[in-house]
Structure 1
Amino acid sequence: MLSALRRTTQLLNHLTTASKAYATTATMTDPSKYKFNHSMLRVKDPKASVKFYEHLGMSVVNKLEFPDNKFDLYFLAYDSPKAASHGSHWTDREGIIELTHNYGTENDDNYKPHNGNKEPQGFGHVCVSVDNIQAACKRISDAGYRFQKRLEDGRMRSIAFALDPDDYWVEIIAQNPVDQTEDVKETDLGTYRMNHTMVRIKDKDVSLKFYQEVMGMRLLRTSENTSANFNLYFLGYGPPAGEKSANGVNPTADREGLLELTWNYGTEKKEGKVYHDGNSEPQGFGHICVSVDNLEAACKRFEEKGVEWKKRLTDGRMKNVAFVLDPDSYWIEVIQNESLGKAPGKY
């Protein structure tokens, strides 16, 4: 009898200790330290794509090769002395573009990544903010690159959309008042920022709650366009948006690593899935990625929040990366910020 009681007591003590340890580990992560690290795009020819983004002033800050799996990853970011994350480890940055190249696509006449703006829609664009937008757009045009929308097209004369070699849209916005840079002939690539990534969402309330309460982002800016039946929501990590606007319109134009959610009125009333996640056919955009302070603790926190997983840390061979699904089934990669801690294995 005494022996059985002792074993029961030991078991209860063990369960209590394990429960406390789990709770402690789950709270060992601080969402305010998270970073919107990168956005992934599949590309046909990495030489052409890297050349384009380097023309926009970006640099390859990391390259990962997986010859056994027949793909390579190129991570490009702004890294000049004036850049927001100059010299930082690639996992300790925001505003990276990851280009994924599957071997052989450059020689496949039938391969073309899906840009997300043709049907089926989902991903919309990445966006670069520049100092003098007229000079910046002229420099892109002079290099022979194409535009979806030039500055002079349409009613919106303060934004342009360049096309990369795979027809992904790259929005160009101004950091300075457009009416004050018309006669400026030079542009300083060192001041550019990879400002945001845009995806379309079905239900604004559901998505805003997810990105704020689960992913820990802050709603920085809302742009309501009632006459055109859509709203834009800009979220990110870091401080709130300032009251003053550098370009006279957009208080986040000089920021890096933002997420733009585009909500078209009425989509929340549609049945089933509305937007394409980019990973089912036709493929193009792959995922966004958040780097965290403590990968295991962050994933336990996400578990407590009831997220839907594409891949848990414990799934498969790669134990150092997880994928969460957002309300529209866009993939969100979760990795360790290696400047804040050691990843459980080499990524």
Structure 2
Amino acid sequence: MSTDSTRYPIQIEKASNDPTLLLNHTCLRVKDPARAVKFYTEHFGMKLLSRKDFEEAKFSLYFLSFPKDDIPKNKNGEPDVFSAHGVLELTHNWGTEKNPDYKINNGNEEPHRGFGHICFSVSDINKTCEELESQGVKFKKRLSEGRQKDIAFALDPDGYWIELITYSREGQEYPKGSVGNKFNHTMIRIKNPTRSLEFYQNVLGIKLLRTSEHESAKFTLYFLGYGVPKTDSVFSCESVLELTHNWGTENDPNFHYHNGNSEPQGYGHICISCDDAGALCKEIEVKYGDKIQWSPKFNQGRMKNIAFLKDPDGYSIEVVPYGLIA
């Protein structure tokens, strides 16, 4: 199990050299799936790619993304959601929509802070925010509010924060013109950046794309991903992970973030996918042993051909192969 002193100095060869690796999806639990799916499709233009119902365990998964024309098919002839970038997985545990006392933990309220937000990048942020307001979408922060006038935060039906940014930036070569809305990144707060950066880079092979330090507010942002396509920028690409470090947390032995899977629940996980997820998990097991916490190990849970491991802060990371039939 990971501890504050655990380090991750060994590079996993499979993660470092596998061009098929991608940060596939982010999972959020929702109270009412009909309401949540309608929100993301009608207000932001996402498409429902797939729905999977698990009657025995009494939950359903809804996979959405912004329109894409390059998603391959799985062996059932359905969109292979596990080989696409920028996928949002909404998880519904049956019956929550009928419980008036059930509330999702959005990750931003004490004492259960941890997950921060998802981020959509758009071509014209002023137009997007105006349209959302006219449609009745609620905001945590409008463009005109706060110190940063170039970002906004909308609220989804469960109170999750959706950061809105623009990829149309002066002096930027790509993209040239509008390329539609993009699911740019997912933000989680971390206690110790040295430890977390080692984990994500060496164990999972995710590269550090950029760092943004905010000295006056005493926090640093680290943006990681498996690469940026030539025709994109770090603001228009999809499947980026943002790690937020509030200075000083690493020095407090009693400090910890809420991982979203302990009660009260909300955020679920990010998912890493590749051609051979079993080989990746096997190498991590061999090289790191009990320094990595699994729940479960690959192919050892009720759902086959998947694994879940935990990062240094206890956030869950799913690992799946392309073409998985959920």
With normalisation by structure 1, the TM-score equals 0.81
Please tell me whether residue 219 in structure 1 is matched to residue 195 in structure 2: no
Give 1:236 shift.
0.4
C-alpha separation in 1, matches of 2:311 and 2:242: 14
C-alpha separation in 2, matches of 1:216 and 1:42: 27
Give the match for residue 18 of structure 1: none
Q: 1:101 to 1:298 in 2, by over 3 A?
A: same
Give 1:50 shift.
0.5
C-alpha separation in 1, matches of 2:281 and 2:140: 39
Report 1:73-222 matches (<5 A).
Answer: 73-81=61-69, 89-119=80-110, 120-177=112-169, 191-222=180-211
**Aligned positions, number:** 298
Give the match for residue 39 of structure 2: 52
Give the match for residue 49 of structure 2: 61
With normalisation by structure 2, the TM-score equals 0.86
SS at match of 1:33: coil
C-alpha separation in 2, matches of 1:314 and 1:93: 22
Q: Which has the larger radius of gyration?
A: 1
C-alpha separation in 1, matches of 2:264 and 2:49: 29
Give the match for residue 183 of structure 1: none
Unaligned runs of 5+ in 1: 1-25, 179-186
Q: 1:294 to 1:236 in 2, by over 3 A?
A: same
Q: 1:239 to 1:132 in 2, by over 3 A?
A: closer
C-alpha separation in 2, matches of 1:330 and 1:241: 31
| Bigger relative contact order, structure 1 or 2 (CA pairs below 8 A, ≥6 apart) | 2
SS at match of 2:19: helix
SS at match of 1:308: coil
Identical amino acids, percent of aligned pairs? 47
C-alpha separation in 2, matches of 1:86 and 1:167: 33
Q: 1:302 to 1:317 in 2, by over 3 A?
A: same
Give the match for residue 70 of structure 1: 58
Which letter does structure 2 place at the counterpart of 1:74? Y
Q: 1:30 to 1:294 in 2, by over 3 A?
A: farther
Give the match for residue 7 of structure 2: none
SS at match of 1:282: coil
Instruction: Return the structure number with greater helix share.
Output: 1
State which of 296, 306, 313 in structure 1 corresponds to 2:298.
313
C-alpha separation in 1, matches of 2:264 and 2:54: 23
Give 1:319 shift.
2.2
Contact 1:70 1:103 in 2 (8 A): yes
Q: Which region of structure 1 is more displaced relative to structure 2, 266-275 or 102-111? A: 266-275
Give 1:177 shift.
3.4
Contact 1:79 1:86 in 2 (8 A): no
Q: 1:215 to 1:29 in 2, by over 3 A?
A: closer
Give the match for residue 302 of structure 1: 284
Give 1:140 shift.
1.0
SS at match of 2:185: strand
Which letter does structure 2 place at the counterpart of 1:337? Y
SS at match of 1:53: helix
Give 1:318 shift.
1.9
Give 1:57 shift.
1.3
CA RMSD of aligned residues (A): 2.3
What's the CA shift string for 1:194-214, capped at 9, x where partnerless?
Answer: 000000000000000100011
Contact 2:59 2:94 in 1 (8 A): yes
Which letter does structure 1 place at the counterpart of 2:108? N
